[in-house]
Amino acid sequence: MALMKYIRRKRISKIFLITTVFSVSCAGEIYSQTILEGGPMLGVSWYNGDLNPQRQFYNMQPAFGAFVRFIHNDRLAYKGSFLLGGINGEYPTNSVLLREFNDQPYTFNRTISDVALMFEINLFSFNHPYKQGTNFAPYISFGAGTIFYKRFENDEEKPYFVFSFPFGAGVKWKLKNNLRLGIEWTTRKTFADDLDKVGFNNSVQPADPYGFNQWKMSHNNDWVSFVTIYASFTLINKREKCDAGFY
């Protein structure tokens, strides 16, 4: 019994000593952790659809916008973004033949507005307050969004919103405590098939290129892609003690 009490006292003494040393080493150390950041985005955009089924980075147009990112922890963030981008296309081309129409040239050019809310998952730990070497991380993202454009139907030009499913990937670097840079490629699957229809009485009807005279959700829905570079600046910091944990 005496031996057991001695061993128990030794264990308690060791635990107390370790706790005391850790507390003293942390005393007075306060860490600042970014929880909200935002900044501008600049890049290019393009379209895939009936007039450009497969080619990426084709007929690229300027795109720009801004975003905010709420940082949940070193692996997960939530991002909201707004982008303005141009898309265009033409017919005929070597890769597209629409038998329902003649070869009279058709071109379209329009500007779209994109709003997206996305989850970001870092593949590496990024900007961890207590770990070294977390200044770089690739990430994947996905979410939901909407695209605003002008729809041409029934001899009227109407503003229209359509649901989109955005997803993509990117990389980001922390240059300073309050500054980060990144580049990303994101694609929007839209639930519309007339982004490439501009005007009335066109020589080609991209919304019904094969003469089906009906719209189907699964039929050649248009896609929009963005490649952007961005800079983000700290908007809100959260101050933590070193023993407070990371979320």
In a domain, 111, yes or no: yes
pLDDT higher at 211 or 222 = 222
- The confidence score (pLDDT) of residue 4 equals 55
- Per mean pLDDT, which range of 9-13, 115-119, 142-146, 148-152 is the poorest? 9-13
CATH code, domain carrying 75: 2.40.160.20
For residues 71 and 76, give the distance between their C-alpha atoms in angstroms, rounded to a whole number. Answer: 7
* Sequence-ordered list of residues with C-beta below 8 angstroms from that of 42, at least 6 positions apart, any chain: 63, 64, 228, 229, 230
Query: What pLDDT sits at residue 9?
Result: 60
**Confidence band of 153 (pLDDT split at 50, 70, 90):** confident
Q: Flag whether 93 is in a domain.
A: yes
Residue 192 within a domain: yes
Domain range enclosing 118: 31-241
Q: Which residue has the higher pLDDT, 240 or 90?
A: 90
The pLDDT, as a whole number, for residue 5 is: 56
The token pair that represents 74 in the structure block: 């070193």
Rounded to the nearest integer, the mean pLDDT of the chain is: 82
pLDDT category of residue 146 using cuts at 50, 70 and 90:
very high
* Per-position DSSP letters for 18-46, written without gaps between them: HHHHHHHHHTT-EEEEEEEEEEEEEEEEE
Strands 76-91 and 61-71: antiparallel
* 74 contacts 93 by C-beta, under 8 angstroms: no
Q: How far apart are CA 225 and CA 112, in angstroms?
A: 12
Domain assignment of residue 246, yes or no:
no
pLDDT tens profile 12-51: 555 544 444 444 444 445 555 779 999 999 999 999 988 8
Q: Which of 4-8, 26-30, 136-140, 221-225 has the lowest mean pLDDT?
A: 26-30
CA angle 144, 71, 231 (to 5 degrees): 85
Whether residue 213 is contained in a domain is answered as: yes
Q: Torsion angle, CA of 204/205/211/213, rounded to 10 degrees?
A: -160
What share of the chain in percent tops pLDDT 90?
51
Predicted pLDDT of residue 20: 47
In a domain, 9, yes or no: no
CA distance 19 to 38: 39
pLDDT digits (tens, 9 = 90+) for 67-88: 999 999 999 999 999 999 999 9
Q: What is the pLDDT of residue 112?
A: 96
What own/partner pairs with CB < 8 Å and gap ≥ 24 does 147-151 have? 147/112, 147/113, 147/114, 147/115, 147/188, 147/190, 147/192, 147/195, 147/224, 148/112, 148/113, 148/114, 148/115, 149/110, 149/112, 149/113, 149/195, 150/110, 151/194
**Chain center to CA of 135:** 19
Let me know if residue 24 belongs to a domain: no
Range among 10-14, 22-26, 165-169, 188-192 rated most confident: 165-169
Decide if 42 is inside a domain.
yes
- Counted domains in the chain: 1
